[in-house]
Amino acid sequence: MREALAPVVAAVVILALWVVARGLRTIREQPKKVVRTPPAWVPKGPADYDTLLRAVRAELARNLVGRVDWTRPVEEIRQSIRPAVEHLIDTANPLLNRIERGRLIQEVVDGIKSPSQSE
C-alpha cells in the first residue's frame, strides 16, 4: 500500500512546489503597486485648515443624514460621532501633526448641535 501511495505523494509535492515557484516568479516580475488615492470629497492639492474643516463637516453631514437619533443629549451624540470624525480625517490623510489633528477633530465634534439647539 505504501509503495502505491509514494508516487502519488511525490506528484502532489512536485505540483505544489511548481505552483509556489510560479506564483513567486509572478510576484517578482509584476509587483503590485499600492496607490492610495484620497476620497473624492477631500480638497485637491494642499488645503488649508479651514478648507479641510469645511470639507470634513460637509462629508459628515452627508453621512449622518437619517442615521442619528437627535432626541438623545448632545454630549452622547458627540461621543458617538467622534469615531466617525476621526475616521474621516484619517481617510483624508492630511498633513497635520498630532495637535492640529486633535484640534480639527474637536472643532468638528464641538460644532455638532441637535436640531433643538440650533433653533
Candidate ranges 8-12, 90-94, 100-104; pick with highest mean pLDDT: 100-104
pLDDT greater at residue 28 or residue 105: 105
The residue with cell 458627540 is 78
Question: Is the pLDDT assigned to residue 75 strictly greater than 70?
Answer: yes
> Could you tell me the residue ranges of all domains in the chain?
49-118
Q: Nearest-5° angle of CA 39, CA 48, CA 81?
A: 55
Share above pLDDT 90 across residues of the chain, in percent, rounded to a whole number = 6
| C-alpha cell read off for 62 | 452627508
Question: Is the pLDDT assigned to residue 119 strictly greater than 80?
Answer: no
DSSP secondary structure string for all residues of 37-75:
PPPTTSPSSS--HHHHHHHHHHHHHHHHTTTS-TTS-HH
| C-alpha cell read off for 74 | 448632545
> pTM for this structure?
0.60
Question: Is the pLDDT assigned to residue 30 strictly greater than 80?
Answer: no
- 119's CB contacts (< 8 A; 6+ apart) are none
pLDDT greater at residue 38 or residue 29: 38
**Diameter of the chain measured on Cα atoms:** 86
